[in-house]
């Protein structure tokens, strides 16, 4: 919510949410007040009556595993949730959006909070076509939790860079040491927000990557 309140957000992409939750209602108030368009990525397995619940958002579009063109050479591929393999809609972590951003030869795979069970289903979905997952940058799932980032999934993505969004000294012990080891063993360079603060990735048209780190002082 803080991002929506403090930054100039032009569009929002979210996965299926519990419409009766306090956080979702606050989200609806903000996007409606600021007239921000919202895209909801969900499974076609959800029936139309459930989709009607999203009418509280004034400017909304619902998609499933589609490609969204941002500019001529910039687009998103939405890989998950899947229209058949979607897990229980109450399993919010595993209903996270998995999307791949393409910009010329650069790519970044965003994995939300998916866990091992979703990673295995994604691998099965793209079996024989795993290059779909291969990405320059991996936004490591679920803050580097031990319940995510299984070996086969990391090997399929083959990231050169791994981003881990995680709070300093968090009570969950994220990121997990085994996850860090798996990423390091495939040659990924790891950037963590708990050690480096805000992380900015800039890519030019030739694919040259520049990374900036910024630690805020209290």
Domain boundaries, the chain: 1-64, 66-218
pLDDT by 10-residue block (mean), the chain, 218 residues = 87 77 87 91 57 66 80 92 58 87 96 94 92 97 96 98 94 94 97 94 92 76
CATH of 1-64, one of 3.40.50.300, 3.30.390.10, 3.40.50.1100, 3.40.50.920: 3.40.50.1100
Q: In whole numbers, what is the pLDDT of the chain averaged over residues?
A: 87
- Of 137, 148, 139, 146, residue with least CA distance to 115: 148
Alpha carbon distance 175, 192 (integer Å): 9
pLDDT for 206: 87
pLDDT for 52: 47
Task: Indicate the pTM of the whole model.
Answer: 0.85
CATH 1.10.150.570 is held by the domain 66-218: no
- Of 124, 191, 183, 122, residue with least CA distance to 158: 183
């Amino acid at each position: 919510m803080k991002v929506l309140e403090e930054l100039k957000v032009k569009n929002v992409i979210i996965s299926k949410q519990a419409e009766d939750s306090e956080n979702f209602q606050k989200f609806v108030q903000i996007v409606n007040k600021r007239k921000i368009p919202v895209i909801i990525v969900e499974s076609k397995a959800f029936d139309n009556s459930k989709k009607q619940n999203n009418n509280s958002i004034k400017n909304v579009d619902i998609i499933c595993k589609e490609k969204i063109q941002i500019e001529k050479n910039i687009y998103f591929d939405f890989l998950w949730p899947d229209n058949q393999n979607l897990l229980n809609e109450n399993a919010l972590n595993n209903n996270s959006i998995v999307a791949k951003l393409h910009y010329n030869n650069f790519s970044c795979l965003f994995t939300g909070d998916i866990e091992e069970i979703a990673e295995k289903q994604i691998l099965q979905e793209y079996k024989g076509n795993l290059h779909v997952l291969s990405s320059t940058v991996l936004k490591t799932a679920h803050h580097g939790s031990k319940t995510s980032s299984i070996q086969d999934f990391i090997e399929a993505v083959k990231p050169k860079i791994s981003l881990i969004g995680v709070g300093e000294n968090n009570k969950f012990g994220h990121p997990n040491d085994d996850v860090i080891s798996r990423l390091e063993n495939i040659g990924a360079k790891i950037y963590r927000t708990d050690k480096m603060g805000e992380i900015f990735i800039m890519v030019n048209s030739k694919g040259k990557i520049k990374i900036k780190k910024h630690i805020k002082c209290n």
